[in-house]
A and B are shown apart, each in its own frame.
Chain A
Amino acid sequence: MSVTDVDDSRAPAGAEADPVAGAADGAPPRDVRPPRDLQRTFQLVLATVWLLDAVLQLQPFMFTRGSNGFSGMLNGFATGNPGWIDHSISWNASNVYHHPILTNSLFALIQFLIAFGIISKRTVKPALAVSIVWALGVWWFGEGLGTVFQGGATPFGGGPGGVLFYALLAVLLWPGGVSDRPFVAARTVGVRAAKAIWVVVWGLLAVLALVGSGRSPQALHDLVAGLDSGQPGWLAHVDKLSAAAFLHHGTTLAILLAVVCIATAASVFLPPPATQVILVVTMAVFALIWVAVQNLGGILAGGATDPNSGLLVIILALTYWPQSVGSTPISAPTAPTPATEEAPAP
């Protein structure tokens, strides 16, 4: 059963039910429209996340100087990186420190433009292009390259950088392509390229789960233990459970995550039912990580700039959800219909 748009606003209150009104004479039901194209839907979901990021950028602490402000947050990512990267991040943090209102307003504006640019079919391509450039810039200057060079880019904590998934989704959701692909992510880049991207991404996540401090129980414990400050009570309680689990079974959990990532990488080569089962497990695991480890990016503590990687990984997985070929809706835009009036309240 597909979801369709039906104008139900013109029905008089108390009218008798007639599900196929208008079809009695053989004509199609009036005001029944085909469902929105799935690629377009995912673009709009991505735009929603960009809008969330833009508004998060407007939080008061973002405009504040000092170690508790945005510039202090940026400066914190410089440490541990190679010298020239360290300097570039410090240089950017210094600019933000000296002009917090100007720079932060500009950062927010760019994200608003990306979010609203994706909405219009005329501006979606420039907006996605800007989002790729912006995401890579944020990954460098705002996330310290996801702490990859510090050996702490475990997927539990959002490694190799949540913002990279914005860029990846922008590439995979680039408008165009044919709608008869087996999954949405293959529409534009093609099935082979999409599968290759998938394998590389999940292979990288599997490696990052095991290298550096990714498998260290103490490091994983510290990853969560430092987050509970400012969180609501229920999430602080969850954090304590997560921290204890990492302290006692950190290495085991890291290996399990790597196994899940490898299975997910292989899933695109399996029959669709098997792929769906693995994707459900993957999304459940990353939903758990997003809440219990990443704390929804720290948004509930009032100090976040984005929702971290968990949410984006789930969206990415959904773009690889197997479609039965031919059942996907046509990409052609639906014809606009005039706004309609609603019957008065009874």
Chain B
Amino acid sequence: MTPTPAYLYYLFAVAMLAVAAYSVALLVVSVAYRRPSGWDVDIAHLAMGLSMAGMFITGWAFGRNAMWQLIFLVLLVWFVVRSIQAMQLFGLHLSHYLIHAAMSFAMLLMYWFPDEPGQGSSMSMSMGMASGGARIEPGLSFLLAFLFFASAIFTLASPDKGASHHGTHHRALALSGAAGGTVDTRPEPAPLTGAAGVIATPWLEDAAHVVMCVGMGFMLILMI
């Protein structure tokens, strides 16, 4: 059963599916044009979009909890490793991988501590059946939700369009001799043209990230 007002949950579920579909299109572009970056974020958004659509509308859920948990655990490990690699190369800085790691972690939490009727919100989610009665620590939910909202706002405001997918990182200790990295001197890759260029528009990639952040933040607030 979908809680009132139903339109709201359908709206968010459709938005999640739209992000998932867009991620598939981006993946196709990445494969066709051998784009080396952003594909991991697209895979994450695809999994998150499909999974969260099923959280907003129970009837749209599919797959076992264990499957989703495995997917998000792998994604979490992947993004954490990539964050560490980025820091090893460039010193202490806010890698864009960190927010994707946080989002993968949030998804894992949602499956580990699913919402239950009568606890907190009135959401009725498909993964509720496997609950052991525990719930996400509300403080952690709030912290993650606020982080995602901040990511949404600062991503939209950033002049570095597409950075949420490909990374143009804010680097503390810039120009410090303690740590740094080689900036690739290869020429810039040729921009995509035609339909691929439209699909892979940097601001659209950011928009997908923003929609995912808001949707996930809303879900976390509902699970408090």
Are B183 and A5 within 8 A (Cβ)?
A: no
CA A52 to CA B148, docked complex, whole Å = 10
Query: Count of B residues near A, CB < 8 Å?
Result: 70
CA A338 to CA B160, docked complex, whole Å = 7
Residue numbers in A under 8 Å from B171 (CB-CB): 3-6, 8
Are B174 and A337 within 8 A (Cβ)?
A: no
Are A299 and B142 within 8 A (Cβ)?
A: yes
Tell me the nearest residue of chain A to B36, going by C-beta: A344
CA A307 to CA B5, docked complex, whole Å = 24
Contacts A19-B179, A44-B157 given; does A9 touch B152 at CB 8 Å: no
One of B19-27, B42-50, B62-70, B213-221 at the interface: B213-221
CA A21 to CA B183, docked complex, whole Å = 6
CA A40 to CA B153, docked complex, whole Å = 12
Contacts A60-B122, A337-B160 given; does A18 touch B168 at CB 8 Å: no
Q: Is B85 on the interface with A (CB-CB < 8 A)?
A: yes
Residue numbers in A under 8 Å from B169 (CB-CB): 5-9
Are A346 and B85 within 8 A (Cβ)?
A: yes
Tell me the nearest residue of chain B to A234, going by C-beta: B139
**Set A16, A63, A345: member contacting B182, Cβ < 8 A:** A16
> Majority SS of interface residues in chain B?
loop
Residue numbers in B under 8 Å from A9 (CB-CB): 37, 166-169
Tell me the nearest residue of chain B to A11, going by C-beta: B181
Q: How far is the CB of A272 from chain B (nearest CB, A)?
A: 23
Are B139 and A300 within 8 A (Cβ)?
A: yes
Query: Count of A residues near B, CB < 8 Å?
Result: 69
Tell me the nearest residue of chain B to A3, going by C-beta: B172
Contacts A7-B168, A8-B171, A339-B168 given; does A51 touch B36 at CB 8 Å: no
Contacts A5-B171, A8-B169, A299-B142 given; does A336 touch B161 at CB 8 Å: yes
Q: Is B132 on the interface with A (CB-CB < 8 A)?
A: no
**Set A15, A40, A235, A336: member contacting B139, Cβ < 8 A:** A235
Tell me the nearest residue of chain A to B135, going by C-beta: A232
Contacts A232-B137, A341-B36 given; does A334 touch B4 at CB 8 Å: no
A-B contact pairs, 23 of them (CB 8 A): A4-B170, A5-B168, A6-B90, A7-B167, A10-B186, A12-B182, A17-B180, A17-B181, A19-B175, A19-B176, A19-B179, A30-B183, A31-B183, A52-B146, A55-B221, A59-B222, A101-B5, A232-B138, A302-B138, A340-B188, A341-B166, A344-B37, A345-B40
- Inter-chain pairs besides A11-B89, A234-B139, 15 sampled, C-beta below 8 Å: A9-B168, A9-B169, A12-B184, A17-B89, A18-B180, A19-B91, A19-B179, A21-B181, A44-B153, A48-B154, A105-B5, A301-B224, A302-B120, A302-B138, A337-B160
Name B's A-contacting residues (CB within 8 A). 3-5, 8, 35-38, 40, 82, 85-86, 89-91, 93, 120-123, 137-139, 142, 145-146, 149-150, 152-154, 156-157, 159-163, 165-177, 179-186, 188-189, 191, 202, 205, 214, 217-218, 221-222, 224
Name A's B-contacting residues (CB within 8 A). 1-13, 15-22, 29-33, 40, 44-45, 47-48, 51-52, 55-56, 58-61, 63-64, 101, 105, 115-116, 119, 231-232, 234-235, 296, 299-302, 333-346
The 3 closest A-B pairs by CB, nearest first: A19-B180, A339-B162, A342-B37
